[in-house]
Structure 1
Amino acid sequence: MSTLSVSPKARTARRGGTLKKLMQQNYPVRYLVPAYIMLLIFFFVPTVLNFIYAFTNWSAFSKTIEFNGFDNFIELFQSGTLLRDLRVTLIYAILVAIFQNSFGLILAVFLEEDTRINRFARVMFFVPVIMSALAVGYIWQAVLKTDGALNQILSFFTGQNIDVAWLGSTTWTIVVVAAIHGWKWMGLSMLVFLAGLKTIDSDVLEAAAIDGANRFQVFWRIKFPLLAPAFTFNVATSLLGSMNGFDIVQATTQGGPGGTTEILNLFIWRTFGQGLYSQSTTMSLVLFVMVLIIAVPLIWYLRRREAKIL
């Protein structure tokens, strides 16, 4: 049958079948179904159940699960431990964001040029990012204990016996642990800042140099403002990610000394281990709300700052 003898309806159906076949070839949605199922089972369902169990008496000591309203919230807030750990978590997150982004920005500035040494240095500084957080914590815990490597090195160079308890101060230990956390992830921030520096138009930098701007002025007045998108990403990920931290604190201090480094996830883990399941889900719900309260205004402010600069 010739093409001219085919009815318009048949040609439309043929084009529709061809389009459908192309859609199936280019957009294989069926391959995404397993991922959606995994996401549903291991993320959405546990999240919804977490919200439900926070309002129950679920525990290892109760045979039945019954709703008890806001009793878990009232009990936890009255104990004072939850508020203390929330404060510690917020301080820890702010310190991590400061250390991680400061280290990352400094490295990005010094390693900006594409030389062989700089490329090798970038790889070396990125190695801690791909290391296990627990391994990093245990290594630094061994280095910073009273008979650890740091005190031995200081004793060798000073000629005196140095036995400083770097992780034993109720005031400064949280700063030390946050610095370790920032050290582990500074390679990621470095790469993001490097990507931002590489997108800056060289003509702008040459014009500033011709106008007599020195390197510091070029960085502070041109490069740093144009790093706003990278700054937004790094600040948001470091701050919000460290609020969900656990590994490094557990490996280095286990929440000590005196609970001064006990972030909320440590408290949740210990409470769940004691069989108080509903209390631990309540605390995780409180942490979720705190992260949400901080994340939305922070990202909104940083995005607004980007729009003004760029």
Structure 2
Amino acid sequence: MTASTLRQRAGTAGFLLPALLVVTVFYAVPNLLNFALAFTDWSSYSDTVRFTGLANFRELLHEGALVNDLRVTVVYAVVVMVAQNLAGLVLAFALERSCRTHGFFRAVFFLPVLISPLAAGYVFKALLADDGPLNRALGVQVSWLGSTTWTIVVVALVNAWKFMGVNMLVYIAGLNAIPRELLEAARAEGASRWQVIRSVQLPLLAPAITFNFVTTLIGAFNTFDIVFAMTGGGPGDSTQVLNSFIQQQYAQGYYGYSISMALLLLLLVCAVAFPVLATLRRREVDL
């Protein structure tokens, strides 16, 4: 190995070292500590931290709230994934062509992404209140945030509204990457607009669909801000997602217990996201 090659590699390592240190100190080490502390009784009520093995996880399995929170989290994630991607896809097809008008509306629909999730949650909480502007404008008395059945869907739709701009831009990028010759050939063969979308554009959008579905699903599983701002987990526990329960336990001083539930949430995300990713990737190959 020549001296110049050694100097080049040393220079590359020198550039990488600060980034590696940041990742190690602020990401790798805290996550490793989290995994370890999930198997302890760490809390604000004791000066010592003892290894308890699987005790936290056994308690979680016997915790009545856990089953409800798991169900609520899965329902929330599925509604967000479907609604956010459907809205983003419709907007992408509507604003696909590059022009000044479409550029303006793309910016308008992307604007909610820049709003703080907490701020968006509090705004919609005021809008959807029983005596709020929406009910007064409609002339009805609907308890949008008071139903133990449908409030979780309402909150999920707010989440989808806030982040659909990201999905829209990904789909637009995918549409613009499709060769124009394919679309022109399909139209020359007499294909209608719907036939072009169904038979040409949607199949070629498969990579963008895979990316959007998986990232949206992971983001929905990790939600907290919007639910906290709009309902705080209520009415009852009908909108209490797993992150809400983790925050409650941590705020009460049960640190090891809350960390074990965060680890359980990580396993849940992996158990759902990886099969979805594998299924969508196989679909790409089949297409």
The two structures share one fold, judged by TM-score above 0.5: yes
Match of residue 147, structure 2, among 126, 146, 169: 169
How far apart, in 1, do the equivalents of 2:20 and 2:123 lie?
Answer: 38
Aligned to 1:185: 163
Contact kept in structure 2, 1:100 and 1:182, CA below 8 Å? yes
Aligned to 1:18: 4
How far apart, in 1, do the equivalents of 2:238 and 2:19 lie?
Answer: 40
Aligned to 1:51: 35
Deviates more, 1:215-224 or 1:65-74: 65-74
Aligned to 1:277: 255
Deviations 1:263-305 (A, max 9, x none): 0001000100001111101100110111111122111111111
Q: Given the alignment of the two structures, is residue 247 of structure 1 paired with residue 231 of structure 2, yes or no?
A: no
Match of residue 123, structure 2, among 136, 139, 152: 139
How far apart, in 2, do the equivalents of 1:88 and 1:45 lie?
Answer: 31
Q: Given the alignment of the two structures, is residue 202 of structure 1 paired with residue 185 of structure 2, yes or no?
A: no
Match of residue 217, structure 1, among 195, 200, 217: 195
> What's the TM-score, normalizing by structure 2?
0.96
How far apart, in 2, do the equivalents of 1:83 and 1:50 lie?
Answer: 23
Q: Which amino acid in 1 is paired with 2:136?
A: Q
Deviates more, 1:69-78 or 1:32-41: 32-41
Contact kept in structure 2, 1:82 and 1:283, CA below 8 Å? no
Tell me the secondary structure at the aligned position of residue 32 of structure 1. Answer: helix
Match of residue 116, structure 1, among 100, 125, 128: 100
How far apart, in 2, do the equivalents of 1:229 and 1:272 lie?
Answer: 39
Q: Which amino acid in 2 is paired with 1:249?
A: V
How far apart, in 2, do the equivalents of 1:93 and 1:223 lie?
Answer: 26
Q: Which amino acid in 1 is paired with 2:33?
A: L
Aligned to 2:76: 92
How far apart, in 2, do the equivalents of 1:201 and 1:193 lie?
Answer: 15
Structure 1, unaligned runs of 5 or more: 1-12, 156-161
Deviations 1:66-105 (A, max 9, x none): 1112111111211221121111111111110011101100
**Identity rate, percent:** 47
Q: Which amino acid in 2 is paired with 1:217?
A: Q
How far apart, in 2, do the equivalents of 1:43 and 1:87 lie?
Answer: 29
Aligned to 1:30: 14
Q: Which amino acid in 1 is paired with 2:231?
A: T
Aligned to 1:42: 26
How far did residue 24 of structure 1 move? 5.5
How far apart, in 2, do the equivalents of 1:70 and 1:22 lie?
Answer: 49
Q: Given the alignment of the two structures, is residue 289 of structure 1 paired with residue 267 of structure 2, yes or no?
A: yes
How far apart, in 2, do the equivalents of 1:34 and 1:138 lie?
Answer: 39
Q: Which structure is larger by alpha-carbon Rg, 1 or 2?
A: 1
Match of residue 67, structure 2, among 75, 80, 83: 83
How far did residue 30 of structure 1 move? 2.1
> What's the TM-score, normalizing by structure 1?
0.89
Q: Which amino acid in 2 is paired with 1:211?
A: E
Deviations 1:177-205 (A, max 9, x none): 00000111100000000011011111111
Deviations 1:200-225 (A, max 9, x none): 11111111111111101110111111
Q: Which amino acid in 2 is paired with 1:230?
A: A
How has the CA–CA distance of structure 1 residues 70 and 19 changed in structure 2, closer, same or farther, with 3 Å as cutoff? closer
Contact kept in structure 2, 1:271 and 1:279, CA below 8 Å? yes
Aligned length: 287
How far did residue 65 of structure 1 move? 1.0
Structure 2, unaligned runs of 5 or more: none
Contact kept in structure 2, 1:137 and 1:251, CA below 8 Å? yes
